């Protein structure tokens, strides 16, 4: 197994270089003049300001030279400075990463737990009413536009019913808890501030549900199929012949084997989660990388666009790798080879 | 003779399908006494496995089972699930044909063995683990302590089947049902497994119901033999009697199929194929393949009746079917 | 296999043709019905819609009523009409994306699978890199670079989507290539291009068809998402994503965003149903 992991680790940097290069090329395709967003419309007529800006941002050099500077900077961890926020892209990203992490983890938790539950129900009650309901729920989750769902839920539960708070990570005029992980729920718990924990958690409910519903769909379909695969396996009959209750048979034998392919799918759904995160963060005013990406593309802030693409790609590659390793560990046949 | 341990009376098992019900077991009577080894032989589709699955209720929900199955006098058909679960792996153990697929690939041997113990006996996990080692010893597994941590795919076919036997014996059952225990194994390993079964049987006065299509297996270990065809028993008797003094044409056909080392004659297969179980002819089910068929065979159902040394379900018995 | 199953399978009569089985399922019927509905709308809406999609009646931000069944937006345009017209943008765009992606991706994939060697390596590494991006980020970046407008959206989505079909075709070609009837054709001297076209590709189309059907819905979603973010269709085009964006700006006028979302949901569900049915058609063993 060590060889397998090492092989995958070796490819990762190459992929990263590929991503980085493509991000660079894309950002240079932008037809609009980035100078406009840097110096502002008014100053475009002023040649000194324009020239100074060009020099500062390296926009006067040729394309290959820019690429060289770009790669050189990247190697030192310098992602450039955002045209929009005027601070280092790296700082921007690291500041906003915890918000996305919190949202994604909550969605992952919801999606996986609900997905497994629904999948088991659908498999055990195959072709009967609960199965059809579960499958419809799952299918709808994969079909519903995330941004629209967020709007509808906000309208119903916040605007009309007032049961849940509005968009945003924190209640208005409230400071975040003392920084430990950057995930407000965990940090407020760690600080013993239970009311803040409760407030932050409430604000996490709708976005996590919106983001996680799609994952529920994927997971439940997979669990159902895997369990059906295993339900008629011989070892299940053996388990029954030992005198186990149906529930023990389902959970300790069938589900355990059915879970393995799920690990892979969950890992691979990270891409879908990130996609959803971009849209969810926008609707719920969640100050994460997703909304940063949206702002960046709206203002043609190409250092930021670059940075987000690279970070997104890196996360993607890492989660793929982690998934493969996790799967190899879980399946004894692979682990011991 | 003493009270039977297991008694099947007029057992019928049907499977509903879109094109009609399949009558897999058609009125089976069988008894097993304590300490007795009963062999059940027949070709694929004869209903031998299906009939024994009825004992522990291991068919899927689709099966329609009627008749009577009693264990120590207690009726098992229609018994509550909790009672069946109490028996499964408890007083009655069962092993299956393919040990590779019959063991959970994701759990270690030790876990699966301990589970069999914990389900029925109170006690700590450690006690169950120790019992697991004892069980592996019982089935002559080399290096039992190390084997506890192995996964099924790391063991050979013979070792896996020993694990299955150990699991079935975990709670010292009175009856072991063995469904084709040696079919998936090569001949040498077969002999070893049969050895293990024979030894356990005599050490613990265990009753065994062994299902197989292999007459050689039966010859080695069984006391009585039941020959099944198309869902019914067509011949029954002590093993010697069935082998040398049988009366039913199907039994003689089966025996004639066996390759023998002591003679050089051709193998004689039984022509034709077993009848479809949803479209059985009236009368004896073997009529289309029988060399001795007469009009009496097609008129009515043929029941098992004592003829000579064995019980036989043939209207034309005794026939000089020939002894080899 | 359990003894019981053995008994059952040995005795069963042959089953009926899988076509009839698949088509009778409610999923297929619903999917086709919804699809038919939208195609009808696309073709005929201009004949019978009460208003034009850009027509600004004086009644602004009206909630649903007798003359405007789904109300009006900030410029007094009828929401129902705009939603129906939206199909004219969302659906053909998705069709174009899928069509071109399948074409380009399949070509590249077949080439890679059939030729092997450095062509294979180049194509596969490129697809690896593209696939290493989270799709929406890549789509956003390319769309931003190219500028707004549905035509650029199509290009951006093709860039994001082609590797999926390239890989699919490559896998299919490689597995089919080694089948015996292909080896037989090669040994008789049939030219390679002909083998590819006449023998391999027809066999490879099934998974492509199934995939494309399921992907159609995802493309509609992605197009709407890009438009929602301002990176796709441009107002006043009544593309569904644009409509939802307008709805988000008038949060309390819920009727503006409701219908286009339902429209998207119906289309994506329909294609998911159709894709499922197609998959069952070709793999009756599946559940």
Q: How many residue pairs bridge chain B and chain C with CB atoms within 8 Å of each other?
A: 43
Establish if C42 belongs to a structural domain.
no
Domain contains C114: yes
Tens digit of each residue's pLDDT (9 = 90 or more) over C81-103: 889 999 999 999 999 999 999 99
pLDDT score for A38: 64
Q: Looking at the partner chain, which of B19, B22, B179 has a beta carbon nearest the beta carbon of C7? A: B22
| Closest chain A C-alpha to C95 CA, distance in angstroms | 17
pLDDT of A36 reads 64
Between B107, B153, B167, which is nearest A242 by CB?
Answer: B167
Radius of gyration of chain A (CA): 24
Nearest-Cα distance to chain C for A19, in Å, is 6
How far is it between the farthest Cα atoms of chain A? Answer: 87
The residue in chain A having the minimum alpha-carbon distance to the alpha carbon of residue C223 is: A145
The pLDDT tens digits for B169-207 are 999 999 999 999 988 888 888 888 898 999 999 888 899
Structural domain of C222: 94-282
Query: Which pLDDT belongs to residue A56?
Result: 64
Report yes or no: C11 at the B interface, CB cutoff 8 Å: yes
Lowest mean pLDDT among A70-79, A84-93, B108-117, C13-22: C13-22
Domain CATH for C236: 1.10.3720.10
Q: Is residue C2 part of a domain?
A: no
Is C225 within a domain?
Answer: yes
Among C9, C11, C21, the residue to mutate for chain B (most B Cβ within 10 A): C11
The A-side interface with B (CB below 8 A) comprises 233-235, 237-246, 252-253, 256-257, 260, 331-333, 336
Q: What are phi and psi of C98, to 5 degrees?
A: -60, -45
How far is the alpha carbon of A306 from chain C, nearest alpha carbon, in Å?
8
- Among chain A residues, the shortest Cα distance to C275 is held by A139
What are the distances in angstroms from CA A101 to CA A178, A273, C81? 17, 11, 41
Contact B98 A234 (CB under 8 A): yes
pLDDT in tens, A170-195: 888 888 888 888 888 888 888 888 88
pTM: 0.74
- Look at residue C176 and tell me if it is in a domain: yes
Cα–Cα dist C51/C77, whole Å: 8
Cβ-Cβ contacts under 8 Å, C12 against chain B: 17, 19
What percent of chain C has pLDDT above 70?
A: 87
| Mutation site for A-interface testing, chosen from C94, C134, C218, C260 by largest number of A Cβ within 10 Å | C134
Q: Do B104 and A237 touch (CB under 8 A)?
A: no
Among C2, C3, C11, beta carbon nearest to B22: C11
pLDDT at C261 (0 to 100)? 93
Q: Mean per-residue pLDDT for A7-18?
A: 79
pLDDT in tens, C241-269: 999 998 888 888 888 889 999 999 999 99
Asked, for residue C13, whether it belongs to a domain, the answer is no
Q: Tens of pLDDT along A283-302?
A: 998 989 999 999 888 887 87
| pLDDT reported for residue B161 | 92
Q: For every residue of B264-310, which 3-state class applies, written as one string?
A: CCCCCCCCCCCCCCCCCCCCCCCHHHCCCCCHHHHCCCCCCEEECCE
Question: Is the ipTM above a cut-off of 0.95?
Answer: no
| Residue range(s) occupied by CATH 3.40.50.300 in chain B | 4-222
User: Homologous superfamily of B4-222 in CATH?
Assistant: P-loop containing nucleotide triphosphate hydrolases (3.40.50.300)
Round the CA-based radius of gyration of chain B to a whole number and report it.
20
| Contact: C144, A30; criterion CB under 8 Å | yes
B48–C8: do the CB atoms touch at under 8 Å?
no
Query: What pLDDT score does B168 carry?
Result: 92
* pLDDT for residue B143 is more than 70: yes
Residue to test with chain B: of A243, A328, A336, most B Cβ within 10 A? A243
- Name the neighbours of A, counting chains with at least 3 Cβ pairs within 8 A: B, C
Question: Chain C: nearest CA to A194, how far in angstroms?
Answer: 32
> pLDDT at residue C8 above 50?
no
**Number of domains observed in the structure of chain C:** 1
- For residues B9 and A10, what is the distance between their CA atoms, to the nearest angstrom? 68
Q: Which of A94, A109, A114, A294 is nearest to A201 (CA)?
A: A109
Q: What are the residues whose beta carbons fall under 8 Å from the beta carbon of B7, sequence distance 6 or more?
A: B30, B31, B32, B68, B69, B70, B71
Contact B15 C4 (CB under 8 A): yes
Torsions phi, psi for B102 (to 5 deg): -85, -5
In a domain, C275, yes or no: yes
Extended beta strands in chain B, E state: 4-17, 20-33, 37-41, 64-71, 74-75, 92-95, 175-179, 207-212, 224-229, 232-238, 305-307, 310-312
Residue among A235, A240, A246 whose CB faces B103 most closely: A235
Q: Which of C133, C140, C225 sits opposite A297 (nearest CB)?
A: C140
Residue in B89, B102, B107 nearest the CB of A243: B89
Considering only the beta carbons, identify the residue of C141, C258, C264 that sits closest to A305: C141
For chain C, the average pLDDT equals 81
Q: Which residues of B touch C7 (CB under 8 A)?
A: 15, 22, 24, 45, 47, 50, 277
Axis crossing angle, helix C79-115 with helix C26-48, rounded to the nearest 10: 130
Q: Report the alpha-carbon distance of residue C1 to residue B96 in Å, rounded.
A: 11
The label of the residue with tokens 């240079």 reads A28
Give every CB contact of residue A329 below 8 A, 6+ residues apart in sequence: A1, A335
Task: List, for residues A206-237, the tens digit of each pLDDT value.
Answer: 999 999 998 898 888 888 888 888 888 889 99
């Amino acid at each position: 197994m060590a060889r397998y992991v090492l092989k995958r680790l070796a490819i990762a940097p190459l992929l990263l270089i590929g991503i980085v290069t493509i991000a660079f090329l894309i950002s240079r395709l932008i037809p609009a003049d980035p100078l406009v967003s840097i110096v502002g419309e008014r100053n475009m007529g002023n040649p000194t300001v324009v020239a100074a800006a060009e020099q500062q941002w390296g926009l006067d050099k040729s394309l290959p030279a820019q690429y060289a500077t770009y790669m050189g900077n990247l190697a030192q961890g310098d992602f450039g400075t955002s045209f929009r926020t005027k601070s280092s892209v790296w700082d921007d990203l690291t500041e906003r990463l915890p918000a996305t992490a919190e949202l994604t983890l909550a969605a992952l938790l919801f999606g996986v737990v609900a997905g497994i539950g629904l999948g088991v129900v659908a498999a055990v009650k195959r072709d009967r009413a609960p199965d059809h309901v579960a499958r419809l729920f799952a299918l709808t989750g994969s079909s519903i536009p995330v941004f629209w769902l967020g709007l509808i839920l906000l309208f119903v539960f916040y605007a009309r019913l007032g049961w849940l708070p509005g968009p945003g990570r924190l209640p208005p005029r409230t400071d975040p808890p003392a920084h430990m992980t950057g995930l407000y729920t965990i940090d407020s718990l760690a600080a013993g501030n239970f009311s803040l924990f409760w407030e932050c958690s409430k604000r996490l409910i709708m976005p996590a549900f919106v983001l996680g519903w799609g994952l529920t769909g994927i997971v439940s379909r997979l669990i159902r199929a895997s369990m059906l695969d295993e339900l008629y396996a011989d070892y299940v009959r053996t388990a029954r012949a030992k005198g186990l209750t149906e529930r023990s048979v389902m959970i300790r034998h069938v589900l355990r084997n059915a879970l393995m392919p799920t690990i892979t799918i969950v890992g691979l759904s990270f891409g879908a989660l990130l996609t959803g995160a971009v849209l969810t963060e926008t609707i719920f005013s969640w100050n994460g990388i997703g909304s940063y990406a949206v702002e960046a593309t709206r203002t043609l802030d190409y250092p930021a666009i670059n940075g987000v693409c690279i970070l997104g790609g890196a996360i993607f590659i890492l989660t793929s790798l982690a998934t493969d390793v996790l799967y190899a560990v879980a399946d004894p046949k692979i682990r011991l080879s | 003779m003493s009270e039977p341990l297991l008694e099947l009376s007029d057992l019928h098992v049907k499977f509903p399908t879109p094109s009609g019900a399949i009558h897999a077991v058609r009125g089976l009577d069988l008894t097993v006494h304590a300490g007795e080894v009963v062999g059940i032989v027949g070709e694929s589709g004869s209903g031998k496995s299906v009939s024994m699955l009825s004992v522990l209720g291991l068919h899927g929900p689709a099966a329609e089972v009627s008749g009577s199955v009693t264990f120590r006098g207690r009726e098992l058909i229609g018994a509550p699930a909790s009672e069946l679960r109490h028996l499964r792996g408890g007083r009655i153990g069962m092993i299956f044909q393919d040990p590779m697929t019959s063991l959970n690939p994701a759990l270690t041997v030790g876990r699966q063995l301990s589970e069999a113990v914990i389900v029925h006996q109170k006690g700590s996990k450690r006690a169950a683990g120790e019992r697991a080692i004892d069980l592996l010893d019982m089935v002559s597994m080399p290096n039992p302590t190390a084997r506890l941590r192995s996964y099924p795919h790391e063991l050979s076919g013979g070792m896996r089947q020993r694990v299955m036997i150990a699991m079935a014996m975990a709670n010292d059952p009175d009856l072991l049902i063995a469904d084709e225990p040696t079919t998936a194994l090569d001949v040498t390993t077969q002999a070893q497994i049969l050895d293990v079964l024979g030894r356990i049987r005599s050490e613990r006065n265990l009753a065994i119901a062994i299902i197989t299509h292999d007459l050689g297996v039966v010859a080695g270990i069984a006391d009585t033999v039941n020959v099944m065809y198309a869902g019914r028993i067509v011949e029954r008797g002590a093993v010697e009697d069935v082998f040398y003094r049988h009366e039913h044409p199907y039994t003689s056909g089966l025996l004639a199929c066996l390759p023998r080392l002591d003679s050089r004659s051709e193998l004689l297969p039984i022509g034709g194929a077993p009848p479809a179980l949803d479209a059985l002819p009236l009368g004896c089910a073997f009529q289309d393949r029988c060399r001795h068929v007469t009009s009496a065979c097609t008129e009515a159902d043929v029941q098992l009746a004592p003829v000579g040394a064995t019980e036989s379900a043939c209207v034309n018995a005794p026939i000089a079917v020939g002894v080899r | 296999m359990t003894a019981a199953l053995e008994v059952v399978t040995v005795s069963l009569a042959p089953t009926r043709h899988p076509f009839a089985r698949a088509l009778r399922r409610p999923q297929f019927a619903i999917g086709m019905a919804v699809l038919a509905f939208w195609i009808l709308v696309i073709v005929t809406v201009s004949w019978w819609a009460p208003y034009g999609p850009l027509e600004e009646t004086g009644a602004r931000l009206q909630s649903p009523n007798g003359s405007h069944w789904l109300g009006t937006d900030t410029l007094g345009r009828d929401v129902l009409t705009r939603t129906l017209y939206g199909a004219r943008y969302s659906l053909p765009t998705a069709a174009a994306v899928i069509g071109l992606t399948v074409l380009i991706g399949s070509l590249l994939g077949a080439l890679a699978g059939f030729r092997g060697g450095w062509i294979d390596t180049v194509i596969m590494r490129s697809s690896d890199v593209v696939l290493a991006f989270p799709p929406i980020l890549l789509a956003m970046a390319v769309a931003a670079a190219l500028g707004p407008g549905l035509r650029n959206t199509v290009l951006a989505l093709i860039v994001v989507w082609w590797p999926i079909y390239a890989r699919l075709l490559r896998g299919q070609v490689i597995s089919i290539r080694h089948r015996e009837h292909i080896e037989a054709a090669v040994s008789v001297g049939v030219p390679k291009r002909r083998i590819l076209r006449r023998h391999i590709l027809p066999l490879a189309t099934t998974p492509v068809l199934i995939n494309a059907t399921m992907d159609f819905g995802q493309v509609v979603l992605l197009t709407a998402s890009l438009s929602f973010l301002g990176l796709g269709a441009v107002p006043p085009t009544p593309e569904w994503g644009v409509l939802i964006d307008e709805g988000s700006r008038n949060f309390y006028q819920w009727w503006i965003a409701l219908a286009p979302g339902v429209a998207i949901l119906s289309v994506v569900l329909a294609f998911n149903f159709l894709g499922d049915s197609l998959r069952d058609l070709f793999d009756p063993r599946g559940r």
